[in-house]
Structure 1
Amino acid sequence: MKKHKSFAIILLIILFSSCEKKMTDLEFEKNVMTEIFPSLIDSTCMDTRLFINFPPEYGEPIYNKAGHYVGVDSTKATKEQKQKLLEWKINTEKIKKDTSKIIIAFDPIIKYSREDLKEYLKKYFKNTKAFVPKEKVYNEYNFDFAKIKLNNRFELRNRNQFPKERGKIWETKYNFNFSGTVFFTRIQFDQNKKLGVLNGGFVCGRLCGQGFRIYIKKMNEKWIIDKIEETWVS
């Protein structure tokens, strides 16, 4: 009787472990994304007002004998240029001191990258093998970001709260500081699930934005960003 009871318990444990394994890969990825998400936002998003706030022309351009531009002689700045530079500095400081929230649009549907990230993983993290799930996996999942506490002034809002028509999101006037849209792909892990890579991007206009390849790793039981590479710029 005891043998039958023990066998039943072992069978239940195996069945439970089997069911749990089916959920493990996706749930593990969601947990990692949740943990590292504030760092991803800090590392990729920006206040567009500062990003495109280029200083005005100041001084007289200098050209070499071949007619190629080599620099600027700031000692020859005009009175008008000096005034514009002063106004730019004042406006820049005003933006930096502004404590209002920086609103970012985020699409919570996390999809696989169009690129195969396995090779990037193996190239960056030497002597590692990419994790390939044996079971059928979902191509995308809905990421619940609303309850994640961010570290700074950024506030994320669901992309579906903004105009869906092409280009309308940039043409619309908002009563808040809208800075752009951010997206991330699913994570490609190594076999031990201690290393990973994903793609991301921040778009601040029709011809404004940057793309990133983000390498992450688990260190001292905590997931951190190891390196970010720029993949495109507009």
Structure 2
Amino acid sequence: MSDHQINNTIMKKLAALLFIISIILFTSCKKEISDLEFEKNVMTEIFPSLIDSTCMDTRLFTNFPPKYGESIFDKTGHYIGVDSTKATKEQKQKLLEWKINTEKIKKDTSKIVIAFNPIIEYSNEDLKEYLEKHFKNTKAFVPKEKIYNEYILDFQKIKLNNRFELRHINQFPKERGRIWLTKYNFNFSGAVFFSRIQFDQNKKFGVLNGGFACGNLCGQGFRIYIKKINQKWIIDEIEETWVS
């Protein structure tokens, strides 16, 4: 065999090898993108329910009723309760005002504006154990490589229910604490965030973390379990993980 023929054979083998490698890489990449797109689709579908289940009108959340009555203590000084029959005239008036104001807030049809960071990242804690414990006889899906640690949720294209309106977190003051101290010409209620979803191997169950903040020391954290029923993703249960 001539040198030219040998070189030709080597080149053909190299070309074939490169072709096989490119197919393997393409298939691997395609699968990873497919997993990511699947997660995005699930998040988009469940998103309106997540907002309704975790966000709140802070005006009601922080609108505590006034003191009404006289505090009762036992002989050791431990608090027992309140005797409402001993409410003063001033306390009665304040309670009436509180009830009127509460009803006014409830009937307010203006949008409740929520700040939202559309960058969805993996949770700081491993959610596999929670998934397998909550949904019995399931095994968590573990991708071979976490190529995509985060993604951006195009939340502005997701139709929410009429109550809430989400605005990008970048539209609010970035300085620490300023978001809560600034006076807005709209009903700003807080900021919401969610983690990426941990699925089971069959992609029928999932769990993610979320949280709603309404001030520097005001908010709640959630662990949210979701499942697929009749081709539709719904919230199965929400656990409170922290409160401030």
- Secondary structure of 2:67's counterpart equals coil
Equivalent pairs: percent with the same residue?
84
| Partners of 1:34 and 1:88 in 2: CA distance | 38
| Partners of 2:228 and 2:76 in 1: CA distance | 54
- Secondary structure of 1:199's counterpart equals strand
1:21 positional shift: 2.1
| Partners of 2:145 and 2:87 in 1: CA distance | 67
**Structure 2 spans left out of the alignment, 5+ residues:** 1-19
2:232 is matched with which residue: 222, 225, 228? 222
| Partners of 1:202 and 1:136 in 2: CA distance | 27
Counterpart for residue 54 of structure 1: 64
Counterpart for residue 79 of structure 1: 89
- Secondary structure of 2:155's counterpart equals coil
- Secondary structure of 2:235's counterpart equals strand
Bigger Rg over Cα: 2
Letter of the structure 1 residue corresponding to residue 162 of structure 2? N
- Comparing 62-71 with 212-221, greater Cα deviation is found at 62-71
| Partners of 1:55 and 1:18 in 2: CA distance | 58
Paired residues, number: 222
Mapped pair 1:96 → 2:106: yes
Mapped pair 1:43 → 2:20: no
Residues 37-68 of structure 1: per-residue CA shift (max 9 Å, x gap): 00000000000000000000000001112211
- Secondary structure of 1:200's counterpart equals strand
Query: Pairwise CA RMSD of aligned residues?
Result: 1.5
**Structure-1-length-normalised TM-score:** 0.91
Mapped pair 1:121 → 2:131: yes
| Partners of 1:47 and 1:178 in 2: CA distance | 9
1:135 positional shift: 4.0
Q: How does 1:165-176 map to 2 (within 5 A)?
A: 165-176=175-186
**Structure 1 spans left out of the alignment, 5+ residues:** 1-10
2:219 is matched with which residue: 209, 213, 223? 209
Counterpart for residue 191 of structure 1: 201
Letter of the structure 1 residue corresponding to residue 106 of structure 2? K
1:65 is matched with which residue: 75, 78, 82? 75
**Structure-2-length-normalised TM-score:** 0.88
